[in-house]
Structure 1
Amino acid sequence: MKQESIRKALEETIGSRIRTIHEVQGGDIGVSLYVEAQDEQYFVKYRDDLSADVFLCEAEGLAVLQQSGGLSVPAVHYAGAIPGQTGGMIVLEWIERGPKTDSAEELLGQGLAAVHRQASVTGQYGFKQNNYIGVLPQSNRWDSSWVNFYREQRLLPLIKMAEEQGRLTEIRRKRFRQLLNKLDTYLADEGKPNLLHGDLWGGNWLADLDRKPILIDPAVYYGNREVELAFTELFGGFSHRFYAAYQEAYPLLPDYEERKPLYQLYYLMVHLIHFGEAYGPSVDRVLARYT
């Protein structure tokens, strides 16, 4: 999309003349922009070949996280269709970034524990609507069983997508079948459904100039918090201070380490589908461990 077209769309959306607009880094699913209007600065993310629903779901996730009171998120000024154009966009407050200090990491760990202590009012796993992880659809149909939820709405949809892409080798297919059949020997329905960010890797949090942690790009639902912690460990980006602060505020069960790779499997499958066979060996290692 030409910059003049997005400029006009943004001026219509925010109701103010834009002084400066230029592309910046931020996210993998769209074009990211720094926008300076007459009275405020904005971070804008858009994509003209992507449904507006993706950005509406992101806005909803940010709102739910904000309501939890555990950690801050950017204010949402607009989310939805691009006025007069195809595709969708989200307009957020611009946050000047500061360093990810030890104190910021500690606050992140404490804040994430507070987010996770927010339980589903239904007592079930899922969310009031489906949403997305990256650009992949994420099913959130309510389920009273965590084992069923993780099997039916996390692993199975990705297995199907991988099959359609030709990324399921015969041995992967066999091992997934074995794993799904005995998933309840590794997972249990104990505990309560925790509010999760859902896509918390090192790039989806930042620190502002006051060294306060800010969450971005959520894929929220109510699930088992071990999934969230497992993903933070998959690609790194979190210090010992983060984990120590979390554990002090909301200790994990001692046998979490036994389940961690199984929960990382979901995110490895997301990356296999998004980015290709480079993630295949990691998927295979997890499957071999449990089958």
Structure 2
Amino acid sequence: MIHKVENILREMGDQSPLNEVTPVSGGDISRSFKAKTANGVYFIKINDEAAKDFFQKEAEGLNLLRQAGALPVPQVYHVSSPSADDGYIVMEWVKGEPAPDTESRLGHGLALLHQHTHTHYGLAENNYIGKLPQPNGWEKSWIRFLREQRLGFQAKLADKRGRLPIGRKTRLEKLLDRLDQWVPDYHQPVLLHGDLWSGNWLAGPGGEPYLIDPAVFYGEREFELAFTELFGGFSPRFYAAYRDVQPLSDDYEEVRPLYQLYYLLVHLNLFGESYGPSVDRILRYYVG
């Protein structure tokens, strides 16, 4: 592995001696390393089984978040080409300790990110949610986008993988047919991180919150907030700071489980039936 990291850094342009390579724990998709040379300290992710453009899409997502300027993200130094045998990405090494106001700054920054608007939902290109494909064709209607490119796409994938028993499939089809009963079509597309759980942000120098591992697209902002509540890990300070900038709608409590359903379907497809009961619970809540 040291030889592979050396080759990656040389291809990037750092020809200085490699002083340190340390495995980094934390992700379940790629092997991660901290690499230190005379010229710098880097964070490197390597995956020879991911899609050829997997890390390119990650880099594009990070760059889009950086351009928004609401929250910092690690600088991307180098990404493997689609023709490479081993996919990899080299980024700035970010390390710090949370400060008392770190989560407040995260909530405030996320609310500012959600002020970056677009005329349509989606993104110019498809990307990934975890290691699953995430389609992003532009769509004027949030309800159609949610039905076809989020819930519907994951439902088809789950069906192919044998994870939609007949009762679950029937309820899901009913839900998709009746989305407009519960989902407001505000037409307020804003930039979303797209995969914001507690493992996809970190504290940098001075306690500054950094966003990592995005699955960006333009969507409804409460879709993002709903996911932050699905598995916990965000403090009341985070939500209070967010609401100070962007109050939640009157519809949020009713639509929150439906938005969370997308991420539960993703987890069902990634990790299996352990997420099935949670999917069923939400389906029964809406369609009986």
- TM-score with structure 1 setting the length: 0.95
Q: Who is 2:273 aligned against?
A: 277
Q: Deviations over 1:133-183 (max 9, x none)?
A: 011000000000000000000011111111111110110010011101101
Q: Determine if the alignment matches structure 1 residue 51 to structure 2 residue 51.
A: yes
Q: Higher mean Cα deviation, 9-18 or 171-180? A: 9-18
Deviation per residue, 1:16-74 (Å, 9 max, x gap): 23221121113221000000011110000110111231100100010110111110000
User: For residue 204 of structure 2, what is the amino acid of its counterpart?
Assistant: D
- The AA in structure 2 aligned to 1:279 is Y
Whole-Å separation in 2 of the counterparts to 1:160 and 1:239: 35
Residue in structure 1 matching 2:251, options 248, 255, 258? 255
Tell me what 1:19 maps to.
19
Q: CA deviation at 1:190?
A: 1.1
1:196 alignment partner in structure 2: 192
Q: Which moved more, 1:196-205 or 1:27-36?
A: 27-36
In structure 1, what residue type is equivalent to 2:42?
Y
Q: Residues 81-101 of structure 1: CA distance to partner in whole angstroms, max 9, x if unpaired?
A: 399x513111000011312x4
Which of the numbers 225, 232, 243 marks the counterpart of 1:236?
A: 232
- Name the SS of the counterpart of 2:116 in structure 1: coil
**Partners of 1:26 and 1:264 in 2: how far apart?**
23
CA distance in 1, matches of 2:279, 2:201: 25
In the alignment of these two chains, the number of paired residues is 286
1:193 and 1:222 in contact (8 A); partners too: yes
For residue 129 of structure 1, give the secondary structure of its aligned residue in structure 2. coil
**Corresponding residue of 1:110:** 108
Q: How does 1:55-94 map to 2 (within 5 A)?
A: 55-81=55-81, 86-94=85-93
In the alignment, is residue 31 of structure 1 matched against residue 27 of structure 2? no
SS in 2 for 1:290: helix
Pick one of 271, 280, 287 that aligns with 2:283.
287
Contact 2:114–2:191 under 8 Å retained in 1: yes
Pairing 1:5–2:1 present = no
Query: Is 1:137–2:133 an aligned residue pair?
Result: yes
1:3 corresponds to which letter in structure 2? Answer: I
SS at match of 2:53: helix
Change (3 A) 1:258 1:280: same
SS for the counterpart of 2:138 is: coil
Tell me: CA distance 1:40–1:232, structure 2 relative to 1, closer, same or farther (3 Å): same
**Unmatched tracts of structure 2, length 5 or more:** none
Matches of 2:195 and 2:96, distance apart in 1: 20
Which residue identity lines up with residue 111 of structure 1 in the other structure?
A: G
Q: How does 1:213-224 map to 2 (within 5 A)?
A: 213-224=209-220
Q: Which amino acid aligns with 1:116?
A: H
Distance (Å, rounded) in 2 between the aligned partners of 1:24 and 1:284: 36
Distance between the aligned counterparts of 1:155 and 1:3, measured in 2? Answer: 42
Distance, in Å, in 2 between the alignment partners of 1:286 and 1:13 is 47
**SS of equivalent to 2:22:** strand
TM-align CA RMSD: 1.4
Percentage identity across aligned positions?
Answer: 50
Q: Relative to 1, partners in 2 of residues 1:82 and 1:170: Cα closer, same or farther, differing over 3 Å? A: closer
Q: Would the alpha carbon gap of residues 272 and 265 (structure 1) be closer, same or farther in structure 2, given more than 3 Å must change? A: same
